[in-house]
Structure 1
Amino acid sequence: MTNVRLALATEAASADRANEDFVGAIPNGVVVLDGAGYPPDLQTGCHHSVAWYTRTLGTSLLGALGTEDGSLTDALAQSIKAVASLHSSTCDLAHPGSPSATVVALRRTNTALEWLVLSDSVLVLDVDAAAEPIVITDERLDDVAADLRTHLTYHPSPSKAHGKERHRFQEALLQHRNKEDGYWVASTDPLAAEHALTGTVPIHSVRAAALLSDGASRLVDLCQLATRRQLMDILAADDPDELINQVRKAERTDPDGSRWPRSKAHDDATAAYWRF
């Protein structure tokens, strides 16, 4: 364990709103959550903010990882259930707009690195056996969104037309959330944990791992200004703060989304880098 190095960074999309991402670590694990933010006038059925949900779920999940009992799927299911119990008496948990979040989790054991990915945040593993980093992300949300985002990218951001279309897009997306033919995220139903992608890698074969919210992975996925290898090099040399700085620099060169069409000009950005 003496050579293990962990670095974390997170930044809100703007200074005037709460950061809906969460990142946290314990000696044997790390998690990144990306809360699903909605337009202010979209009904959610919940009195709590998305930021509250991601912080509460992330903290609970870290505690579950620390026990080292059961699988990561079990840990996430228990955490979703625990958070739901905290506001079931005050909020309508059956509402499709209840706060939700993507999840990426890693747990180290004596022999393996266990991983879990739910929804569209990104896990990147740099392992000895692969020439290029291994990328793990759950594409079901992107698949659903692609069919619903027909008009969203044709309206400049920010603009009134873009805001109206984003509201329509978010409402349509909610109708597919946590359904067999849709996509799965952490929200109020522990069953969602069973739909997460999971796996293990021998710990001796892992050089490094990166956990990224989609706001931090924009440099590669959206802007295509870096490869996965270059992203890992940035994290190794300059820490996650520099990755986020480069994302923000790219976003500022395209404020209206004409070069890189996107639903939000800026997004919360979070990255964790774990070197072994």
Structure 2
Amino acid sequence: MRVAFASEPAYPDRPNEDFIGATADAVALLDGASIPPGVTSACSHSVRWYSHTLGSTLLAEMTQSTGPLPELLAQGIKHVTSLHDFTCDLTHGGSPSATVIMLRQTARHLDWLVLGDSTLVLDTGTYEPMVICDDRLEQVAAPHRVRLNSLPGGTREHAEARREYVETLGQYRNRDGGFWVASTDPLAADQALTGTTPANQVRAAAVLTDGAADAVSRYGLMTWRQLLDTLAQDGPAELIRRVREAERSDPHGERWPRSKPNDDATAAYCHIT
């Protein structure tokens, strides 16, 4: 597997809370859930610490074990939790969390796992690629986003609505009827979307945080097929450049209502060999 990737923070002066790492036969992508001002957390560790610590753990696990990906994710969550359960109150709902994509190539198969709203796109040689994204967050969030979407970005009212929105979503995190992400409970791994595809049936794979997948899912700049073509021909950095261009054209969310003007964006293109 040949992997090319690019990752860019939402703003140059803020830490990138995405994680991307790859070996010759494995990729791990995590999108840390940003905590807006005003939302408290009983954990002293940053979202970036969580996504990068869990991401590097998962990548190491995939290179050392052929075990099922949900099992490796559960082990990874348990390990990272053990690193700070004596210093932080992990029973508090504001503990750092992240979406997860794990992709592993063996001699005959491509194993994948998706937890949360990051997106995996598999180019199977047909015109319409296979798109895997856990939409449970969107199902829960949509009814609570009405007020947020009605307010112009960059205003005090919008910032307050975003804080309320994030706090509300916290009530649905990692529970039945809500949505699931990696945080402190290893049982969340059992809720991931998983699959195995014969390696000879996949030409390439795109691994995207929502900040990069917005090129299709929010801004409609291209189709999923065109996204794959862009990654193959121009590279992941070009995809992110187009997303940033769209964001700059609509800084207050008038055309594309959203909770924040820019988002961390990470994209990887994996050519399956």
* TM-score bracket, shorter-length normalisation: over 0.9
Pairwise mapping of residues 9-48 of structure 1 onto structure 2 (< 5 A)? 9-48=6-45
Aligned to 2:53: 56
Cα displacement string for residues 214-265 of structure 1 (whole angstroms, at most 9, x for unaligned residues): 0001110000110001100100001100000000011100000000000010
Give 1:42 shift.
0.8
Give 1:26 shift.
1.5
Give 1:41 shift.
2.1
Counterpart of 2:196 (choices 170, 194, 200) is 200
Please, which moves more after superposition, 165-174 or 26-35? 26-35
CA distance in structure 2 between the partners assigned to 1:70 and 1:93 by the alignment = 28
Give 1:44 shift.
1.4
**1:76 aligns to 2:73 (yes or no):** yes
Task: Name the amino acid aligned to 1:270.
Answer: T
Counterpart of 1:231 (choices 227, 249, 259) is 227
Equivalent residue of 2:212, what SS? coil
Aligned to 1:273: 269
Counterpart of 2:258 (choices 240, 258, 262) is 262
**1:8 aligns to 2:10 (yes or no):** no
Counterpart of 1:252 (choices 248, 251, 271) is 248
CA distance in structure 2 between the partners assigned to 1:41 and 1:131 by the alignment = 46
Aligned to 2:114: 117
Give 1:29 shift.
0.3
Equivalent residue of 1:217, what SS? helix
Give 1:68 shift.
2.6
CA distance in structure 2 between the partners assigned to 1:44 and 1:200 by the alignment = 37
Q: Which runs of 5+ in 1 are unaligned?
A: none
Task: Name the amino acid aligned to 2:249.
Answer: T
Cα displacement string for residues 170-207 of structure 1 (whole angstroms, at most 9, x for unaligned residues): 00000000001100000000000000000011001110
CA contact (8 A) 2:37 2:163 kept: no
Aligned to 2:94: 97
Question: If the length of structure 1 is used for normalisation, what is the TM-score?
Answer: 0.97
Q: What's the RMSD between the two structures over aligned residues?
A: 0.8
Matched-pair identity in %: 55
Aligned to 1:131: 127
Aligned to 2:64: 67
CA distance in structure 2 between the partners assigned to 1:68 and 1:124 by the alignment = 24
Give 1:69 shift.
2.9
Aligned to 1:162: 158
CA distance in structure 1 between the partners assigned to 2:8 and 2:246 by the alignment = 15
Give 1:40 shift.
2.5
Cα displacement string for residues 63-89 of structure 1 (whole angstroms, at most 9, x for unaligned residues): 110113310001100000000000001
Question: What number of residue pairs does the alignment pair up?
Answer: 272
Please, which moves more after superposition, 61-70 or 184-193? 61-70
Q: Which aligned segments of 4 or more residues in structure 1 are displaced greater than 4 angstroms?
A: none
Equivalent residue of 1:74, what SS? helix
